[in-house]
Amino acid sequence: MRILARPAFSNHATDPGNAALYTEIRRLEDATVCEGTMKAMLFCQADVLHIHWPDNILRSRRWCAAAARVAVLFTLLSLRRWRGTKIVWTAHNSFSHEHHHPKLEQLFWKGLFKRLDGIIAHSNTVCAELRERTGGRIPICVIPLSHFRGLYPSPSAGPRPPAAIRRLGFVGRIRQYKGVPDLIEAFLPYADPDVRLVVRGKPENPEIAAAMTNLCARDARIDLRLGFLSPADLTNEIAALDAVVLPFKWVTNSGSALLSLSLGTRVVVPGTAYFLELQSEFGPEWVYCYEGDLSPSVIAGICAWTKRPTSRPAPELSEQRGLPWAAKATFAFFQTVMVTP
């Protein structure tokens, strides 16, 4: 089977998950994987085109640029289907995180679903949602996002603060939908002197950076450092926390949560259907789901939760969270899609 993946290995430096998956798929009998460059999309023979994050083309604030990218993508997908290639989308996001062009976004999802032969969802929650949105017309397979153990550098053993100090924090790329300013605003009125809030990452725009800088300047307990994080920095910062807080506005998947759990750091998330499913899998000692908006009382509950010891140094990961299982399941789904009319 000839698989064209977009992206396959090109984003390894920022997200090693894709490259690791396709490395495993290449080990399977009769499987070849090629990077889905523009040239390859136009000229390479392929049985399956596997696409990730196609909605990223909507992130441009310029309507004309976003519309042009949508037109190019749809032309390429239609060309691939005309040539007999089956198109499979992994639904990392079932909606776009930024909604700069609502009408264009509606057209994008409608047009994308028309051109798909299969969808891979990372949870039962997302699978059910997509079945409803597509009317059950497209085959959907649930393959959990693989864990990240072994894909990032192991955390270094740095100095730890006193045991009485609780360290909560957000680590990673800072985008509007992730709600980091909301976390800071909820923390400011929380008066416990033995709690620290750590914020690390690169903001998506200067406006978010300025807003967070102004908020953090009001409280010496908040440790803010903005900028790009190397893989080693990322793991060191996450491992140094008592809990990673992810106050996402709305998500249908979270690599950030799974990376934290892979490193043995607890996560705090909103009580959405997806995160409740994650809590059910890993247990409430590792995943804390809060109701409503973040507030000082929610922060107090989180701090009390972090003081309870876990039963093991890191959460147990199922076989379905491993790359070998994901590679075989992905390849098997491709085979099913190829024989589906």
- Could you check whether the bond before residue 102 is cis, i.e. omega within 30 degrees of 0? no
Q: What CATH number should be reported for the domain whose range is 2-145+320-338?
A: 3.40.50.2000
Instruction: Specify the pTM.
Output: 0.93
pLDDT at 308: 94
Q: Which secondary-structure segment (H or E) carries 6?
A: strand 2-6
pLDDT at 274: 92
pLDDT at 160: 66
Q: What is the mean pLDDT of each run of 10 residues along the chain (341 residues)?
A: 96 92 95 95 95 92 92 96 96 80 92 98 94 95 96 80 85 92 96 95 92 94 95 94 92 90 96 94 97 95 95 94 98 95 78
pLDDT at 145: 96
Identify residue 102 by its one-letter amino acid code.
Answer: P
Task: In whole angstroms, give the CA distance from residue 51 to residue 77.
Answer: 10
**In terms of Cα–Cα distance, which of 334, 261, 270 is closest to 22?**
334
End-to-end Cα spacing for the chain: 17
Q: What is the dihedral of CA 66, 171, 178, 176, to 10 degrees?
A: -50
Parallel/antiparallel/unpaired status of strands 166-171 and 86-90: unpaired
- 24 with 34: CB under 8 angstroms? no
CATH 3.40.50.2000 segments of the chain:
2-145+320-338, 166-316
The pair of structure tokens assigned to 309 is 């010891």
- 279 with 289: CB under 8 angstroms? yes
Q: Could you say which DSSP state residue 140 is in?
A: E
Architecture of domain 166-316: 3-Layer(aba) Sandwich (3.40)
